[in-house]
Amino acid sequence: MKFDYGVMQGRLSKKIGNKIQAFPEKYWRSEFAKAKKLGLKSIEWTLDYYNLRNNPILNKKGQSEIKRLSKKNSIKVNSITGDCFMQNPFWKKKKNQKLIEDLKKIIFSCKLLKINFIVVPLVDNGSINNVVNKKNLLNSCKYISKYLKNTNIKIIFESDYPPKKLQTFIKLFDKRYFGINYDVGNSASLNYKMDDEFKLYGDYICNIHIKDRLKYGKTVRLGNGNVNFMQLFINLKKIKYDQQLILQTARSKSNQHMNEIKINLNYLKKFQNV
C-alpha cells in the first residue's frame, strides 16, 4: 500500500523554548516549502491555548495565507491537533462554555479550509480521570455534534485508555462525527498490544501519529523504541487505512530538524510493501 506522509507543524522549525511541540509562530510559513522539499503531502496544524485567538487559522488574513501557501507548495492541511484542549480541557471545567465556543470557532475555520480532522488529546493533562470528566465530555460532544453536521469534519480522540476500555468509550459517540487518532508511539510506551488495538477499534481510526517511544519512556528516533513498525503496516493493510500518516517524531538533538524527518521517512518506507 502507498501512504501519504505528513508532518506535525513545528517539527521542521527551531524548537520553541524547550518544548517538543508548540505552534511555530515565527516559522509556520516557511514549513510549507520545507515539507514540499521533503516530498511530504500535508502538515498537521497545532493549536496552543496560549494566544489561541491570534492563531492564523482562526482569522481571515491567516486563512487566506494558509490557502495560498498550501496551493503554492501542494501541501494540504487535513488535520489539526488541539493541544489547547489538553492544556485547558473543557471536560474538566464546571463552567466550560467559553472553551466550547473556542471549539465551535475551530470547527468553522476547518470548514472554510476544508480540514477534516480535529484531534482532541485525552492524554496527560487531558486524561479522563473520573466519571464526571467522562460525562462532561459526552454532554459537550453531543452539543457540538450539531455543528459537525453537513461537513466532512470529525473530532477524533487521542487517548491513553487500554484497548478494551477505549473500544467501550468510543462506542458512546456518533461514528459519523467522532473517531480515534492512533498514536503508535504512545501505545507502544504503555506496552499495549497493537493487534488488540486494531482488532477492537481499528474501524474508528481516522488519523495516525507516527513516533517511537521506549517502553514506559521517552520519544526516540524511529526504530529505536518499542514500536513494531512491520506489525503497524500489516495492521494498516488489514483495516485498509487510506488516510495520512503524520510524523510526530523525536526532535533532532543537533537542531537538524529537516534531516531528522528525512531519516525517519526513509525508515518508514522500508515497510510500505508488506
> What kind of fold does domain 5-271 have according to CATH?
TIM Barrel (3.20.20)
Pairing of strands 245-247, 76-81: unpaired
Three-state DSSP class for residue 89: coil
Q: Does the model's pTM come out above 0.85?
A: yes
CA-based nearest residue to 173, from 151, 208, 207, 148: 148
What's the pLDDT score for residue 1?
Answer: 72
Residue numbers of the chain with a pLDDT score lower than 50: none
Instruction: For cell 510524523, name the residue.
Output: 247
What's the pLDDT score for residue 243?
Answer: 93
What's the pLDDT score for residue 14?
Answer: 92
What's the pLDDT score for residue 96?
Answer: 73
| Phi, psi angles (nearest 5°) of residue 113 | -95, 5
What's the pLDDT score for residue 97?
Answer: 78
DSSP letter assigned to residue 45:
E
